[in-house]
């Protein structure tokens, strides 16, 4: 089974009613039983008013939310090594590296830099 990790931009695109392509790709992943990982901090960045974000909430039901607990030390170390400060991007990269997952992102440069600091090559699909 292959795995993917969504970043905040990917979730925003998936929740956008006008972005049919992103939503169709998500449905295809579910149909192929791919493991779809969403860091809980990513969901927290995107979910603002669950009652008005029906499509986004539907997307999240098909994903595995990964808690931040116990990841604070390696995320902090990655931020120090990369000279960056975005905790969410670092957690996305760390999770992708650990799961051997494809990253779905609207910010492939930052995620790629973090993966490079981990010494890991993972594909990044830009939305």
pLDDT tens string 100-126:
999 999 889 999 999 999 999 999 999
Q: How confident is the model at residue 54 (pLDDT cuts 50, 70, 90)?
A: confident
Backbone angles phi, psi at 86, to 5 degrees: -85, 105
The dotted CATH code for 3-126 is: 3.40.50.1010
Asked whether 37 and 4 are in contact (CB, 8 A), the reply is yes
Region 49-78: mean pLDDT is 91
Percent of the chain at pLDDT > 70 equals 98
Neighbours of 100 (CB within 10 A): 10
Asked which of 15-24, 76-85, 90-99 is least confident by mean pLDDT, the reply is: 15-24
Asked whether 7 and 88 are in contact (CB, 8 A), the reply is yes
Q: Report if pTM > 0.85.
A: yes
Q: Give the residue among 61, 70, 71 at the shortest CA–CA distance from 92.
A: 71
Separation CA 72–CA 40 (nearest Å): 13
Q: What is the pLDDT of residue 4?
A: 98
**50 has a pLDDT exceeding 80:** no
* Tokens 């830099």, residue located: 113
């Amino acid at each position: 089974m292959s795995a993917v990790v969504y970043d905040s931009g990917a979730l925003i695109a998936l929740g956008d009613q006008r972005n049919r392509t992103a939503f169709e790709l998500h449905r295809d992943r579910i149909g192929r039983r791919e493991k779809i990982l969403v860091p809980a901090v990513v969901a927290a960045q995107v979910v603002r008013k669950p009652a008005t974000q029906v499509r986004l909430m539907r997307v999240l039901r098909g994903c595995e939310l990964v808690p931040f607990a116990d990841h604070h030390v390696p995320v902090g170390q990655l931020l120090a090594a990369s000279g960056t400060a975005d905790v969410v991007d670092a957690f996305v990269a760390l999770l992708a590296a650990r799961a051997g997952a494809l990253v779905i992102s609207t910010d492939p440069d930052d995620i790629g830099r973090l993966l490079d600091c981990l010494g890991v090559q993972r594909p990044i699909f830009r939305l």
